Chain A
């Protein structure tokens, strides 16, 4: 899937339905990586696209690809979700849910249990950068823009996340 979508006509972006079709999987996967929760990610993905649809007329293709724009919205939605979760003191529930989810892969189908477990051990911020750079294949500047950090910080975070992921996978294997 291309990282950037071409504008179909000069002065007019592609129809929103096409944007949904092209980016829903990526956004959903991104949200799953941040939250570690497929069910919650479905709600968040729906909310993301709802917000995106409302702001679709304001979307400026000159400033970035639709995927980057959607990821920024998804990031904001996910952060709000985390805040709400923190407020509701549902850490314990999450733990229970995570414990159940460990039995099946949360982040993707076909991942090894070690990798899935290792991903669980990462922080949402680390999983987020992995999702953006590795899975969604966003380039450094776009990913940095989504995260609201500098490109250098983004690279550092990615490097640490991958290193830690490898360590966690190694630990699980051992």
Chain B
């Protein structure tokens, strides 16, 4: 008790303290009967101590999760990467038009068509990241056997790749494309998608130029090209190339040598039937035109009939012109292949780094990535939670203030 606070009030204070008031015995029994045991309460941990205890536990859990994920993911990543290079790449284009093929991870498989066979087969990784930096490996000739013998090929190739620490030799990737069989002597429209990884932006520029030279040397040309590079050493290039059909396989092979193949797919469409249909349509129209011209030359037609035939002749001539134009397009498409090629550095750069340090390095990288993701999640949670917590604190503060004011008013006004 502070003496100064009671200074001058000693008499009243003494009078107040002279009074005696103890809790009635029945109240004491009631309170004790309500439940208090003899057990002492555990002293709760101070918030600071609790925080200091929880923080290392949380950090350990986060790192542990990252390590487990990294170890697990390191294995699966290698598998995925290997999968990408072991996907069967086989096209069997049957005359008359059906192409069949096993379903690959891309989901594209062979398809059949009545009047024009289409076939599509691809080899890509599960995603860009896992497929990155994976060179092409010899692929089995038979699609069915490729799927069944995938594991054996993958492990052998992957071990070889790991041992060398460098992209597989061009011969390897070249041999993987030997299975592409674009039929000769038929009109077939082929479209190839090729994704190739290169080491850096310099190699990207070089590869882009080389790609143009390759298709030019094979009698083709570059329809369009786009190259993008950043200051961070990554870059991409997109090339739309045209090559004569006869040189498609060679072009793909040589383009694949420009780096390491990340993904590839080739689709074909047989245009033979379409061309034949157009040819027969042209012949029929030519015969019709001849008949119309002969009829007009006889001079026995009435003016109405003459006008009618002239209109029909005009229509036929217009139709034959359109059909001829279409036919020339078909023939052109059937003799030229499209190769859509993308060159990139970003994924490969990272992937190559991983392989250089081996499995442990990749695991560490995955752990780091996972920890980064965890950090992002925490940051995201903070960004989301913090405003909510602030609003909640404000509401609590206002409510508390109002409650205290009410309380003071209540106790001050309640005069006995």
Residues of A within 8 A of B (CB): 7-9, 11-17, 19-20, 24-25, 27-29, 32, 34, 36, 42, 45-46, 49-50, 53, 56-62, 79, 82-83, 85-86, 94, 98, 105, 107-112, 115, 120-125, 128, 130, 133-135, 137, 139-140, 148, 155, 158-159, 162-163, 165-166, 169
Contacts and interface: CB of A to CB of B under 8 A. Distances in A.
B42 A45 contact: no
Contacts of B5: 133, 140, 155, 158-159
Given A14-B40, A83-B410, A148-B404, A20 B20 contact: no
Interface string B208-236: 00000000000000000000000000000
Contacts of B21: 25, 28-29, 32, 107-109
A46 to B, nearest CB: 5
A108 B15 CA distance: 11
A166 B1 CA distance: 19
Nearest to A34: B411
Interface in B5-52: 5-6, 9, 11-13, 15-24, 27-28, 30-32, 34-44, 46
Contacts of A163: 9
Contacts of A110: 18-20
A46 B31 contact: yes
Interface in B39-83: 39-44, 46
Contacts of A20: 28, 31-32, 36
A12 B410 contact: no
B16 A42 contact: no
Interface in B318-348: none
Contact of B34 (A19, A53, A57, A109): A53
The 10 A-B residue pairs whose C-beta atoms are closest, nearest first, are: A108-B19, A125-B411, A28-B23, A16-B36, A111-B19, A108-B21, A162-B9, A36-B416, A124-B411, A49-B31
Given A12-B42, A79-B411, A155-B5, A46 B27 contact: yes
A174 B72 CA distance: 92
B37 A16 contact: yes
Interface size class of B (residues with CB under 8 A): 35 or more
B36 A24 contact: no
Nearest to B31: A49
Contacts of A83: 410
A24 B29 CA distance: 11
Nearest to B22: A25
Contacts of B2: 139-140, 155
Given A15-B39, A32-B21, A50 B34 contact: yes
Interface in B373-416: 404, 407-408, 410-416
A134 B5 CA distance: 10
Contact of A166 (B12, B38, B410): B12
A105 B30 contact: no
A161 to B, nearest CB: 10
Contact of A24 (B9, B13, B17, B31): B31
A121 B18 CA distance: 19
Nearest to A159: B5
B150 to A, nearest CB: 61
A78 to B, nearest CB: 8
Given A15-B40, A28-B21, A139-B1, A121 B15 contact: no
B44 to A, nearest CB: 5
A98 B32 contact: no
Q: Which of B2, B407, B412 has the most CB atoms of chain A within a 10 A radius of its CB?
A: B407
Contacts of A8: 40
B43 A111 contact: no
A9 B42 CA distance: 10
B38 A15 contact: yes
B43 A60 contact: yes
A24 B43 contact: no
Q: Which of B19, B34, B38, B412 has the most CB atoms of chain A within a 10 A radius of its CB?
A: B19
A50 B410 contact: no
Nearest to B44: A60
Contacts of A128: 411
Contact of A162 (B13, B34, B42): B13
29 contacts: A12-B40, A13-B43, A15-B38, A16-B41, A17-B32, A17-B36, A17-B37, A28-B23, A32-B21, A42-B30, A45-B23, A45-B27, A46-B30, A49-B34, A53-B35, A53-B36, A57-B42, A62-B43, A79-B407, A79-B411, A82-B410, A82-B414, A83-B410, A120-B416, A121-B415, A124-B416, A155-B5, A165-B12, A166-B12
Given A121-B415, A123-B411, A17 B16 contact: no
A32 B27 CA distance: 13
Contact of B414 (A124, A135, A139, A159): A124
A111 to B, nearest CB: 4
